[in-house]
Structure 1
Amino acid sequence: MKEMDFRHFGGVFGVYERTAPLTTGGAGLADRNFTIPNDPSFSYQTASGTKGFTAAAVLALIAEGKAGLDDCVKRILAESHEPQKYGKLEWLDEMVTFRSLLSHTSGVPDYYDEDLTDSFEDVLNGTPCYHYEKPEQFFPLTEKAWKKQEKSYSFRDVFKYSNGGFVLLAAAAEAVSGEPFGEYVTRHVFRPYGMNRSGFFRFDEQPPDGIVRAAAYQGNGKSNIYAVPVIGGGDGGAYTNPADMARFWNALDPEINPQSPAAGLVEEAWTPRQKAEENFYGLGFWISGKNPRIVFLEGFDPGVQFFSFYNRDTKRSLTICLNDENMNCDEVFEQYFPMIQG
């Protein structure tokens, strides 16, 4: 691991060409209780970067022929082997599909709208974060946000970022596959892609053997274990590291793996569709407004910043995992982003 002297950075980073490391580094602490330094081999929270894993899992499901991009999600949930756990779903429109959810154009409201709040605790309104373990446990929050709308599905067909939409994707993936969402992603994304340090790990349980899970620290110095759900889901919270992200991009790239059953779907997911401020969005992935050959994921949670960029031309990735809210990624980004441009 390369020594760093970034006084304003707390976390790890890695630049890879395909799966070969070009440079890696870290600064700050992974655990303040035991003064353990950050290390790129540890596993870090990804916040909304998880949406890329959700997209990859859903595309795998579709590539297997178990569902279609334009299938009605409400019907899938209603016809599942456990429809009672989803409730009546009166708030869910028949026009909501996998495609519209992946592109944030479904109109499904965001239960955690960062334009309105920056506190997950406020959204929970007194409910402990350990209550939120399964996709359907977020449905009441999404329904509540739906009821607050002046006009139902007022954002349909336009880009409106929605964590609630990706919770629905996780529920639909469970309903179709018959597997808990985290297990499905592990079996269809993490394991086949060689992402051995990635997964959905509960805060209140010891991680699997071989996994060192880095803590994340908020601006007040406290860890974020009471600020986000106890375990990640379709919209965020999985763990990974720079090496695993290099494997992720390499395994997904349809130009490297044209024989993959999901290659055509990934190409569609990486095609700019919706304008989102200075960038574009495809199906579960951001696409650079300056260079549409660069796809990326990003996530922000209390104590967490996550970025992973992939240049389809150079086959290089840059992943940054920050775990200290009092720090920033500016110096790392400025020094290493040019490397992926070739």
Structure 2
Amino acid sequence: MLTAPAALALIASPAVAMPKDALQAVISDPRQPLAPGCVAAVFDHGEMTQFRAAGYADVKAQRPLDENSLFYAASLSKQFTALAAATLIAKGQLSLDDDIRQYLPQMPQYAVPVTVGMLMHHSGGIRDSLSLLRLAGMENAGAASKQQALDLLYAQADTAFMPGTQYSYSNGGYLLLAEVVESVAQRDFADYAREAIFAPLGMEHSYFLNDKEPEPGSFAHGYIKENNNLDVRNSFPRFSGSGGLMLSMADLARFERDIEIERKVWTPEIARIMLTPGRFSDGSPVRDGSRDMGYGGGLHIGPYKGAYRVQHGGSAEGYKHNYVRFPERHQSFALMCNRGDWSAVERMERLIDAVAGAADAADGAGQLSAATENPAVAAAEMPKAPSGIFRSDELDATYHLMPEGKRLRVTISSPLTGKAGRTLMFERQADGSYAAQSFRLHVRAPVAAGAAAPARISISRGATGEIALHPVQKDRP
């Protein structure tokens, strides 16, 4: 087992030449010395050759970040969820081709079965669980229980698209993958991950959350910048699968060592499962269109400046992370930050360039473009602004729509919102839809002819796909 002192000893290795202050400069904020920050590491052939920390795990208590600081790992967790599933696949207890209803009979029976592989590769059309919670009116999805998230997934009458035909990143899919692991292993997912991964590798401080708060003082708080102040924001879900991993850099060093050297868990068969990109039902490779990369076991796989790259990020409100491996070079980079106003992707590119002496960082790390509006749609062609009360059984939520000029006041009521509900002001868009934050309310002309025929209303968030809202009653004058 690699002890903490041993992990620290790895830092002194000179295998990767780099100016002493280059890595520190990537993660430091000279304008705010008393602030949250990052830990960063460089690995060569499984050995940690560089480590730097800057900032505080707890600004108020002035507890500094170090190699043992636990971070909420956000979507870095997905590769460990996939790894847990891969250990069962390697044992012959699970198959990527299995219908998930074999293990989760609570799921609806869709026209095309969703397989374990589709969950792992984001090609099953499973709606995003965090988006469903928000569509059901929950403002802070981090306050939800695992059962509340699962209940919404189990209530979906259909998938966002035909399973096996598209790629759509889904936290819901990975929550279900953890449930599959739990069903096969016949124990809590967090317990199985500890027994199958963390304990064998000596990752003694890392663990998956299981609907419980992390121990106070044991982890790095997340921070966001509001009104020029850095405020604590530990608004992350307390359940696991899509996220939920509490991870330190010292423990990540133990994982990296197993990949390159020890291979206690990362066996050749496990590596094949994790690093083989998924395929759609027609045999074509699963591609993440925004990155033009394949997707394996919780890992984006594709080129970076001509090199074979395996990577994944992690993002929560107060946390930004990135973990990149170059298997052919036996070189890896990890960055974990507890401040939500920094871009881990941008800082990772600077880190890689500082080590590798690359030229400019590759393009493609910019913000996603906003939805394109079609100004050619004339106002006369747009359906009348909807009003009234609409319901979705899939969300167990009621939407009360009230037009206010070109805006639409929407109050969402559900078991997740409390009595007051949640009210949002939607702005009308050029294509006739209404938008508020990341929500989109779609209003389409009625199928039936006649002035009395109701418009078709649906709601979506991100890539969840549209969920129909059905009229309950009309507003009366």
Counterpart residue number, 1:141: 152
Count of paired positions = 316
More helix by share: 1
Q: What residue in structure 1 maps to residue 390 of structure 2? A: none
Residue identity matched to 1:159: Y
Q: Give the 3 Å change call, closer, same or farther, for CA 18–141 of structure 1 in structure 2.
A: farther
1:95-123, Cα deviation, whole Å (9 max, x unpaired): 1111111011111111234xxx9xx7666
Match of 1:215 in 2: 221
Counterpart in the other structure of 1:264:
269
Aligned counterpart for 2:203 among listed residues 195, 198, 202: 195
- Look up the equivalent residue of 1:237 and give its one-letter code: G
2:90 aligned with 1:75:
no
How big is the shift at 1:213? 1.3
Q: Deviations over 1:215-272 (max 9, x none)?
A: 11123333223x221x24000121213332233234245xx56897852342243134
Shifted more, 65-74 versus 1-10: the winner is: 1-10
**Aligned equivalent of 2:177:** 169
1:240 to 225, 244, 247: 247
User: Aligned pair in 2 of structure 1 residues 99, 250: CA closer, same or farther (>3 Å)?
Assistant: farther
User: What letter matches 2:40 in structure 1?
Assistant: F
- Go from structure 1 to structure 2 and tell me whether the alpha carbon gap of 1:332 and 1:70 turns closer, same or farther (over 3 Å shift): closer
What is the distance in 1 between the residues matched to 2:294 and 2:179? 26
CA pair 22-340 structure 1, distance change in 2 beyond 3 A: farther
Alignment check: 8 A CA contact 2:73 2:243 kept:
yes
Give unmatched runs, 5+ long, in structure 1: 79-86
The 8 Å contact of residues 73 and 94 in structure 1, kept in 2 or not, is answered as: no
Match of 2:64 in 1: 37
Change (3 A) 1:235 1:337: farther
Does residue 1:286 correspond to 2:300, yes or no?
A: yes
CA-to-partner distance for each residue in 1:281-320, whole Å, 9 max, x for gaps?
A: 1232111333563211211110111111111122221110
| Residue deviations 1:130-159 (CA, integer Å, cap 9, x gap) | 551x4x442223246x45x7x753463221
| More divergent stretch after superposition (241-250 vs 100-109) | 241-250
1:339 CA drift (Å): 3.2
Q: Look at both structures and tell me which one has the larger radius of gyration over its CA atoms.
A: 2
Flag the 1:259–1:325 CA change in 2: closer, same or farther, 3 A: closer
1:307 aligned to which of 312, 318, 322: 322
Counterpart position of 2:423: none
Q: Which residue of 1 aligns with 2:128?
A: 110
Cα distance in 1 between the residues matched to 2:54 and 2:29:
8
CA distance in 2, matches of 1:162, 1:324: 24
Q: Deviations over 1:11-69 (max 9, x none)?
A: 11111124422111111211022011221221112111100000100000111221112
Deviates more, 1:158-167 or 1:94-103: 94-103
Hey, what does 2:119 align to over in structure 1?
101
Where does residue 324 of structure 1 map in the other structure?
339
Give me the whole-angstrom Cα distance separating, in 2, the residues matched to 1:156 and 1:102. 12
Structure 2 unaligned runs (5+)? Answer: 1-10, 12-19, 31-35, 278-284, 359-477
Q: CA contact under 8 A between 1:257 and 1:263: conserved in structure 2?
A: no
Quick one: higher RCO (CA 8 Å, sep 6+), 1 or 2? 1
| Corresponding position: 1:297 with 2:333 | no
- Residue in 2 that maps onto 1:84: none
Root-mean-square deviation (CA, aligned residues, Å) is: 3.1
The AA in structure 1 aligned to 2:350 is E
Structure 1 residues 91 and 139: alpha-carbon distance in aligned structure 2, compared to 1, 3 A threshold: farther
Distance 1:205 1:295 in 2: 29
The equivalent residue for 1:52 is 79
Identity of aligned residues (%): 24
Q: Using a 3 Å threshold, how does the CA distance of structure 1 residues 58 and 218 change in structure 2: closer, same or farther?
A: same
CA contact (8 A) 1:71 1:98 kept: yes
Query: Take 1:158 and 1:292, find their aligned partners in 2: how far apart are those partners?
Result: 26
